Structure 1
């Protein structure tokens, strides 16, 4: 490994979809990479306790898929071999905006896969296992990140084994992918540094997930069907997504006290109350498997570590430790993979330096701001549209929401805007691309406005495969 740093060991806290891509990024630059995980890591795709949303649908957006392909050559084949389903986001995803006509079916060149979260994690973990210098230690609870005597750099990670033994692992670099970011915050406090500023959006969102078998003669043409809420009047939404085992996830969500139930009949009634009947039609005659799982998400939280001018050398918080997104938008795993690519690129850029870690932390935290900003903005628009949402609203919130609605309407008629919108939603391009001069010109054109279906018109509903040709006309 010609690019290896002089440092001996990097430690990654957490073996989830934040830690695994980071371990892959580190493997070319350290003699040893140790991944510490509190859970016992399963040999199959069994959900684990440390991922409380593991039994719910997870979205691997095209931007996240692209990042994983960058980190793991041939990752498409890895997913295919694992049983994941490839998805054309323009032809096989039915995205419903209440009050708007369906998008025309177009192949937009935006591809990803559908699968369960445990299967994706298993596929990535197996690829990381191929690296001979990456060591997994599961069943280990991290106690603290240790610093050098002057407090300027990381020096170690202490953890307790499953048997309760305290061990201290020397480290030149520590990646905190613990999710909550407590090890990073504890180190900042222990070394006399201030806590980072935070931006919080209170959403009080709850969702329930059921698993169904849909009869062959009723199987939808689409692999993903997503009904957006009729905000801000209502918050109820739903998604149906194909799993690798041929079963289907059906997840329903709502805000505050209007959260979906965990009883089968009540769950179906809640689905029937959504702005369109798409989700209900998919599950009404399907066979329910097992229990309906519930999950509550109180708030999105973004930590502004980049504002610190005295961040410990060799400390890299990543993924949810930096920003925890509202999971309903499926952005977290994809943003984490993109952050790992940034880490890999910075490691490569500094590999020949006399002190490769001197500015790595500050550069990384600054560089990922644009990655975090994109999904954060996309989620903040609909989340802050609700009057009861907690958080500071930007002065131009209403104008931004109106612009986003205008873009979705223009996308019906203009293939270029349709492609751009899907690329932005999939974290392939920044939100700012939707305000480029050419887009603004098209969005405000009278011709486009005249061609868009009347606001409030009910969208055509998907049906069983082949039963309704209009079903293939939506994305």
Structure 2
């Protein structure tokens, strides 16, 4: 049983389907219309970029996905050639052919492609408008045996399961189980107080551009304003503006354009000047990044396994969440394949999965929280060598400006293709 039908839930269901007679996905939202965001994904109307590591993971899980995305109109993107990155101190990085490929598209399109693939399997079913309200466990040994749910606003029911995967995002089922059983959970929290606003421009108003995407990063800590413009399916473009604290981007269309004029470079403001005020602006707030350390202070029961945002909610500005969830689903598949022939294949699954997921999370967590701590108002325990590490990051950006190999390696780390340790091994970061 999988709780939630987002990227993590769909990827997990695909990993499970080869090893279970039935995979049942319980989703609290109604069945979505193709191409439309779901209410349960509050940031679903905003741009998402699937990192190359996430694209590779999903392609491994879903053979034929690349062809599906091409057919649906997703835009191929080489992150070195097609993505213009504009950084403080160094300006725009040179556009280079790096061979690191993904797609630019809306999140609803990606969910739709995954949903079609997974539901075409004969043993996967999605039940919509079904909210999980509790996890059931055996009184004798605490082993999880299923869930208690509510359908819409109507009847309640219980369903048994050998394994419950919590892909709910907020981890409410798992956290409620821990509280009910008197267990505590250690969490690492970084308060970022992010707000962002985005707009979609459809053809024919959307202009031609010499990039598939552009990102202008903030000149921190003096400014928190950053912005992104990304091409999406059907010739549309998405523009995202980001700020922190009191300097959040507005929802008024004309003020949206004015806010973009305060970015480090004029790239996005010039784009908006060509298209005019957007027809609609959506907003979203993200107060804090949270890493829940399920492995350590307490031990989850047999048959319960959190995944994706249920373990770690990253600052969405860095675009890591979907990709980490996809990589965790590949880990789940690999563990199931490795243990399929054992006498009790689920006995150590949760412990092994959480240990592997922790290794996946370490690099994106470090990559995202380090620039967050540039701002003095960011809340949380600062790294002991923060200033030194910030200087190293600035040196890396300067080296990437002139060194194609450094640029490629930096991109591979940011796109979750290599761990942060690869920079140290290459001598690009001091030990």
Common fold: TM-score over 0.5: yes
What is the TM-score normalised by the length of structure 2?
A: 0.97
Please give the alpha-carbon distance, in whole angstroms, between the structure 1 residues aligned to 2:355 and 2:117: 28
User: Deviations 1:311-367 (Å, cap 9, x if unpaired)?
Assistant: 200111011110001111111000000000010000111101111110000110011
- Name which of 337, 340, 355 aligns with 1:351: 340
1:425 aligned partner: 414
Highest CA radius of gyration, 1 or 2? 1
- Name which of 6, 12, 15 aligns with 1:22: 12
2:136 aligned partner: 146
Does residue 278 (structure 1) correspond to residue 267 (structure 2)? The answer is yes
Does residue 41 (structure 1) correspond to residue 36 (structure 2)? The answer is no
Please give the alpha-carbon distance, in whole angstroms, between the structure 1 residues aligned to 2:426 and 2:128: 51
Contact 1:62/1:112, CA 8 A, preserved across alignment: yes
Aligned residues: 431
Contact 1:22/1:343, CA 8 A, preserved across alignment: yes
Q: How far is 1:289 from its partner?
A: 4.6
1:360 aligned partner: 349
1:157-306 correspondence to structure 2 within 5 Å? 157-162=147-152, 164-192=154-182, 194-213=183-202, 218-306=207-295
User: Deviations 1:189-234 (Å, cap 9, x if unpaired)?
Assistant: 2233x22200000010100001224768941110110000001111
Q: How far is 1:412 from its partner?
A: 1.5
Does residue 312 (structure 1) correspond to residue 301 (structure 2)? The answer is yes
1:107 aligned partner: 97
2:386 aligned partner: 397
| Gap runs ≥5 in structure 1 | 1-10, 444-475
Contact 1:211/1:288, CA 8 A, preserved across alignment: no
Please give the alpha-carbon distance, in whole angstroms, between the structure 1 residues aligned to 2:204 and 2:113: 28
Please give the alpha-carbon distance, in whole angstroms, between the structure 1 residues aligned to 2:203 and 2:73: 18
Please give the alpha-carbon distance, in whole angstroms, between the structure 1 residues aligned to 2:205 and 2:95: 23
CA gap of 1:440–1:137, structure 2 versus 1, over 3 A, is closer
**SS of the residue 2:6 aligns to:** coil
Please give the alpha-carbon distance, in whole angstroms, between the structure 2 residues aligned to 1:131 and 1:125: 10
**SS of the residue 1:230 aligns to:** coil
Please give the alpha-carbon distance, in whole angstroms, between the structure 1 residues aligned to 2:236 and 2:276: 10
- Name which of 43, 46, 66 aligns with 1:76: 66
Please give the alpha-carbon distance, in whole angstroms, between the structure 1 residues aligned to 2:250 and 2:91: 30
Does residue 58 (structure 1) correspond to residue 48 (structure 2)? The answer is yes
- Name which of 370, 373, 378 aligns with 2:362: 373
Contact 1:15/1:37, CA 8 A, preserved across alignment: yes
Please, which moves more after superposition, 242-251 or 214-223?
Answer: 214-223
Please give the alpha-carbon distance, in whole angstroms, between the structure 2 residues aligned to 1:309 and 1:217: 52
Give the aligned CA root-mean-square deviation in angstroms: 1.6
Q: Which has the higher contact order (CA 8 A, sep 6+)?
A: 1
Please give the alpha-carbon distance, in whole angstroms, between the structure 2 residues aligned to 1:217 and 1:23: 37
Does residue 137 (structure 1) correspond to residue 127 (structure 2)? The answer is yes
